[in-house]
Each structure stands twice: as C-alpha cells, then as structure tokens.
Amino acid sequence: MTEPSLVVAEEISKKFCRSLHRSLWYGLHDLTSAILPWNREDRGNATIGQPVRALRREEFWALKDVSFELRRGDCLGVIGHNGAGKSTLLKLVNGLITPDTGRLTTRGRVCALIELSAGFNPILTGRENIYNQATLLGFSREETQRKFDSIVDFADIGDFLDTPLRNYSTGMAMRLGFAVAAHLEPDVLIIDEVLAVGDISFRFKCMNAIGQLLQTSAVIFVSHAMPNIVRLCSELMVLDRGQVTYHGRDLANGIGQYQALFSGAPQAVSGSGEIVIRELTIQSGESLADLGGTCAVAHGADLRFTVTIDAAEHLEGTRVQFVLWNSEMLPVLDVVASNLEGTYIDLAGARRASVSAYVRQTELNSGKYSLSVIAEAQDHTRTFCRHDNAAYIQVNAETTSGAHSLTVAEWSHEELSAS
C-alpha cells in the first residue's frame, strides 16, 4: 500500500486587502463571524466547485484556485515575482492562515525554514538559543540533547557558542538557525529563500542538508535562484499575481514561462553622451528585434547585433562592445573582439557609424537576456555611452539543465582493457 499524499491542496484561494483600515475592519468582521453563531451568512458556501463570496471593496486574490498534491520525496518549486503569492502559499501550508476557499490537508509534522533567526533572543548565548529555538520548533528536551552536538557541529560557529547572539554576524545567526531547523525530522518541509545569506561553503552545506531532508519529506521550495530550483525540484509551479500560470514536471518550460513574465526594465542611458545610439537590431534567423524589442533565439542558432551610432565632433574613435545580462542581473556573455576587448571603431572620417557583431552558435541556456551596448574610450578612461536594456533576447532550449550555457562538444571514447 502506498502512503497517502502528505500535502493535498484543493483549489485554495486567499484574499488580501490593499487598504490598511479596511483590512483591519474586515479582520474584525471575519473574526466576529467566526465566533458569533448568528453571523455566518456568507462563509458557508465556500466549498470546492461552488461560487465563493465575492471580493469586498479593495480586496484582491493574493492566491487563486491553487491545487497540488505532494508525496514523500516530491519537491515542488514555486517561482514568481515579488507579490505573486508565494509567501501566502507557504503560510497556508504551514497552517498559519486559513484559506478563503478550497481545502488544504497536511499529514505529519510540518516545518518551515523561513527566516531562521526569527525567535532568537539577542542577549542569550548561542547555546541557550539552540535550546529555546528547538523547543519552539517542537523538539523534546531529550531530542535536543541528543542532537545538540550535531547542531553545533553543523553551525560551525566555533568559540561563539557561549557568546550572546547580539555579537554574532548576520551570517552566523543564520547558520545557527539553519543548523537547528535542519535537525528536525519533518514530513512536510517548507523552504523560503533561506540560502540567500551565508558564505559559499555554508550554502553548499545547506543544499546538501536539504537534499537529505528531501528524501524523507514532501518539500515546497520557494526560490529566485533557478539553478537551485533545477537541482532540487521534481515539479514546478509558476505564480503570477496569485494565478498559477504553469504547473508541471517540465522544469525548463516552467522556468521559460517565468522568465518570459519579465516585462523588462526600461531602457537606461548613461555615460558622457558623446555617443548616441540611433538604431539597433538583433537578428537570429527569421526573428528580428530593434530598440526595446525582444528577439527569439533557438539554442545553437547564430545571432547578429547591429548598432548605428552618432558621435560628437571631437571623438577620434571608440570601443564598442555588447553585454548580455540574465534575469538575475548577472552578466553572462560579453561580445568582444579577438583581443578580448570591444572592437575599435575609427571615427575620424565620419560622425556616424554602423557596427555589427556576428555570434555563431549561441550557447546560452533558456531564459530572457537583456542587452547593454557600451561605447568607451580606447584606454577605458571614459564612457561615451552606456545603453542598458537596449533590447532583449529570449533563448529557448529543450533541456532540464540549470546551467547558464550549454556547449555542444565533439565527444569520443575508446574502450580500455581492465588489466
């Protein structure tokens, strides 16, 4: 017999109110109607598949009709912009708030790794805080004592164990928090962006610990870091303003949809202004985009950037280069000349020039990338023009890889005898 699902969400929704005063007033109203037996007119019909009570003034659906089911070993990744409803979903699963429609069932111990230092007291020592935090999270005294050494070992805070927490760095407090939480044995585990703080080695440690917990629990994982999502999750949910826009096991597709949600930042021009961009085109096969546009590119396809610049009278020349940024604002590709710098353009003859760069076989992985055009002095001492978010490219690759780029190699192998 297989174990029943540990989390079952059936069309759960949650409303929120924009105005503070109304929100408090609705809260009071909801509270009284929960207590007073004669004041229940409007909550009774909020079952699955039936109409729900309409939104009141200034209310909106923070989460609308979300359904999913998780078994032990499943990991649901939840991605979306700020305000998409991710935290609301986590609070619902954690049992901190109740849904306005639908039904939510959890089985077993639910544990949340959300802001791990919540609950710490700054005046008490690390040791005391470990005991207090463990009690808060539901450890018994014996359980804490049994796991204490392992917790201290994991947190790796050395001599600071008996120092008041207020003398810890933010990262150290985080480590302590994670160390305690990682020793829980949850059936349902909720993780929200806790890996954002801490140095690289600790982040690796966290990922490994989560990987271990994953095998014995059902996990809901909220993150903005796509590599982590790809590494941990077995299915993905994309939220956009409370609505589920994608839910399935095709991670690449989901991430692509999430990245396509970026409307893109507005174009931004900085620099001395001695060079101005007149025109810009990005072309890949049939797809073409100009300033502010988006060019769809298949993985492995060729790509051409063309820019027309106007230069001020006195300039003799400039270096031009293109930079592609991913949705996490990391530069992932510099388009340079063979000397690994921007290409040099002699402007002595004309005030206007058209510059073109041809990139063969784009190795970028799926995602939306923003283009910056940079024109600077040959010795890099002065930037004439820096045009950010000048245009976008949307790469589509059929892959589950979370890497930034995918390179197609020429592979070979030979058989070796074993003696």
Partner 1 sequence: MSESFHNDGSLRIRVTTPQQARAPFRRVFRELTANAGHASVLAWSLFRRDISAEHRQSLLGYFWLLLPPVASTLVWVFLTSQQVITLDSAGVAYPLFALSGTVLWTAFNSGVMATLNALSGARMLLPKVNFPHEALVYSALLKTGLEMLIAALLVGAAILLLGYELRPAFALFCLALLMNTIVGAAVGLVALPVSSLYPDISKGIQFILRFGFFLTPVIYAVPASGPARTLMLANPVTPIITTGRAWLTGSGEAMPAAFAIVSISSLGAMIGGLILFKIALPFLTERLGS
DSSP states of 29-93 as a string?
Answer: HHHHHHH-TT--TTTTT--TTSPPPPP-TTEEEEEEEEEEEE-TT-EEEEEE-TTSSHHHHHHHH
- Name the minimum Å distance from CB 11 to partner 1: 11
Using the minimum distance from each CB to partner 1, give the nearer residue, 53 or 203: 53
How many residues comprise the chain?
419
CA-to-CA distance for 95 and 104, rounded, in angstroms? 9
Burial class from Cβ neighbours inside 10 Å (0-12, 13-18, 19+) for residue 109 reads middle
Using the minimum distance from each CB to partner 1, give the nearer residue, 119 or 293: 119
- Name the minimum Å distance from CB 49 to partner 1: 13
What values do phi and psi take at 128, rounded to 5?
Answer: -65, -40
- Residue 191 pairs in a beta bridge with 113, 221
- Name the minimum Å distance from CB 108 to partner 1: 4
Using the minimum distance from each CB to partner 1, give the nearer residue, 55 or 268: 55
- Name the minimum Å distance from CB 199 to partner 1: 24
Q: Which residues bind partner 1 (CB under 8 A)?
A: 4, 23-24, 26-28, 30-31, 34-35, 40, 43-44, 46-47, 91-92, 94-110, 112, 114-115, 118-119, 121, 123-124, 128, 131-132, 135-138, 140-141, 187
- Name the minimum Å distance from CB 234 to partner 1: 21
- Name the minimum Å distance from CB 176 to partner 1: 15
Pair 35, 133: CB distance under 8 Å:
no
Q: Any idea of the CA torsion for 2, 7, 9, 14, to the nearest 10 degrees? A: 180
Using the minimum distance from each CB to partner 1, give the nearer residue, 141 or 249: 141
Collapsing DSSP to helix, strand or coil, 117 comes out as coil
Using the minimum distance from each CB to partner 1, give the nearer residue, 6 or 323: 6
CA-to-CA distance for 394 and 62, rounded, in angstroms? 29
CA-to-CA distance for 146 and 127, rounded, in angstroms? 14
Using the minimum distance from each CB to partner 1, give the nearer residue, 100 or 274: 100
- Name the minimum Å distance from CB 44 to partner 1: 7
CA-to-CA distance for 87 and 109, rounded, in angstroms? 19
Using the minimum distance from each CB to partner 1, give the nearer residue, 95 or 285: 95
